[in-house]
Amino acid sequence: MIDAIKTGDEVVSAGGILGRITKVTDSYVTIEIADNTQVVVQRAAVQMLLPKGTIKAI
């Protein structure tokens, strides 16, 4: 799953942070957690890929 993540995917990190992937590199991903707020985490910190639209539904 970690190798398959791409920009636009909705994910949950190991720390429970929910967001949308905005950038993917070899070792890190950038997750937008709110408007104009992004965090960079290791790819391995992505715990779960969510169905599209999950964030909007919350």
CATH number of residue 30's parent domain:
2.30.30.60
The pLDDT assigned to 30 comes to 98
Is the pLDDT assigned to residue 2 strictly greater than 90? no
Angle (CA) 40-42-45 rounded to 5° is 110
**Quick check: is 14 in a domain?**
yes
**Quick check: is 56 in a domain?**
no
Over residues 4-56, the pLDDT tens digits come to 899 999 999 999 999 999 999 999 999 999 999 999 999 999 999 999 999 99
**Residue 3 pLDDT class (50, 70, 90 cuts):** confident
**Quick check: is 32 in a domain?**
yes
**Quick check: is 13 in a domain?**
yes
Q: Tokens at residue 15, please?
A: 């720390």
**Quick check: is 58 in a domain?**
no
- Per the structure, the count of domains in the chain is 1
- SS3 readout for 1-58: CHHHCCCCCEEEECCCCEEEEEEECCCEEEEEEECCEEEEEEHHHEEEEECCCHHHHC
Which domain range does residue 8 map to?
A: 2-51
**Quick check: is 26 in a domain?**
yes
